């Protein structure tokens, strides 16, 4: 279940207050007491005490804490079942490319909403996650589908605070505060311009370091993000999502919004060709 620090961080995002004392009380160090305070049959009794001490907002934070813990527990159970299933399939020689599916979890959607993401930005993130998972499955490579799905979904977390070029940096900072895995916060930071060089970062007044992508999962997420822009922006006319892939090179070459500059153009072109070659081999 999420640690106290994560509950504190989400309370801070929701209310501007940490409610650290309350979260620490719920997650008592004594396992027996902690279990008792998570007993949903006792929420009414505990809720009355908490509301009296912390007010209605504190009561809501208590209920949200229990909700988040339940969601995290079920998510972990799902992850364990999927891993076990994958191990069994691998043991019996099922095709390497038969990657398991991944569905964005309600707990993650709640994190994005509580952070302040707009409905439009949330819809974009859900679309990117769906497209990234679809592409990953078509490559025929056994990938970390949770990383693909969650990384694609959380890539624009920073837009809860900024739509400028710093939203990748801000998203990573928010993700760290929320206790999200480094693999996810790295994607948030790297997705600006699809994996910048140090020189590009310097030009954009971002922390100067190498933002190069290090895995196929990351490349698929960046590719899916650009494809979703092409599909949904209305800048170009296409008859289907598949056409966005078939004419990808044309679109990023001819529409400056999609290629920004020559360096970015060549980077996206490389991802497209690498991923489409894997898809062709698996057809």
Instruction: Report the distance separating Cα 142 and Cα 111, nearest Å.
Output: 28
- Both 73 and 102 in one domain: the answer is no
> For residue 98, what pLDDT is reported?
43
Strands (E), 176-235: none
Closest CA to 247 of 113, 33, 258: 258
Whether residues 90 and 102 fall in one domain:
no
Domain boundary, last residue among 71, 94, 117: 94
Give 16-66 pLDDT, tens digit per residue: 999 999 999 999 999 999 999 999 999 999 999 999 999 999 999 999 999
Predicted pLDDT at 114: 93
Helix axes 262-282, 216-232, angle to 10 degrees: 100
Q: Give the whole-number percent of the chain exceeding pLDDT 70.
A: 95
* 86 lies in the same domain as 108: no
Count of the separate structural domains present in the chain: 2
The answer to whether residues 246 and 279 touch, using CB atoms and an 8 Å cutoff, is no
pLDDT over 80 (residue 89):
no
77-82 average pLDDT score: 75
**d(Cα 93, Cα 90) in Å, to the nearest integer?**
5
Are 192 and 133 in a shared domain?
yes
Residues 214 and 265 in one domain: yes
Could you list the residue range(s) of the whole structural domain that residue 261 is in? 98-283
Domain boundary among 33, 68, 94: 94
CA 167 to chain centre: 14
- Give the pair of three-digit tokens for residue 161: 């605070």
Neighbour tally for 165: CB within 10 Å: 14
Q: Do 43 and 146 fall into the same domain?
A: no
| CATH number of the domain encompassing residue 112 | 1.10.3210
Are 107 and 191 members of one domain? Answer: yes
Cα separation, 270 vs 262, whole angstroms = 12
């Amino acid at each position: 279940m999420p640690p106290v620090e994560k509950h504190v961080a989400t309370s801070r995002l929701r209310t501007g207050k940490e409610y650290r004392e309350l979260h620490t009380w719920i997650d008592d160090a004594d396992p027996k007491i902690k279990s008792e305070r998570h007993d949903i049959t006792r929420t009414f009794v505990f809720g009355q005490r908490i509301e009296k001490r912390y007010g209605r907002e504190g009561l809501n934070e208590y209920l949200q804490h229990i909700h988040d813990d339940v969601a995290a527990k079920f998510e972990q159970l799902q992850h364990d079942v999927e891993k076990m299933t994958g191990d069994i399939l691998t043991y019996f020689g099922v095709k390497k490319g038969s990657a398991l599916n991944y569905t964005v979890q309600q707990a993650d959607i709640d994190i994005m909403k509580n952070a302040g993401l707009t409905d439009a930005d949330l819809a974009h993130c859900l679309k990117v996650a769906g497209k990234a998972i679809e592409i990953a499955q078509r490559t025929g490579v056994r990938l970390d589908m949770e990383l693909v799905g969650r990384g694609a979904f959380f890539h624009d977390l920073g837009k809860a605070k900024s739509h400028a070029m710093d939203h990748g940096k801000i998203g990573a900072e928010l993700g760290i505060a929320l206790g999200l895995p480094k693999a996810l916060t790295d994607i948030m930071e790297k997705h600006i311009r699809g994996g910048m060089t140090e020189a590009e970062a310097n030009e954009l007044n971002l922390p100067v370091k190498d933002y190069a992508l290090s895995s196929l999962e990351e490349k698929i997420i960046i590719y899916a993000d650009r494809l979703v822009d092409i599909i949904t922006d209305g800048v170009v006319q296409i008859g289907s999502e598949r056409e966005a892939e078939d004419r990808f090179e044309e679109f990023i070459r001819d529409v400056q919004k999609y290629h920004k500059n020559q360096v970015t153009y060549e980077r996206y072109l490389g991802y497209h060709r690498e991923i489409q070659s894997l898809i062709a081999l698996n057809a």
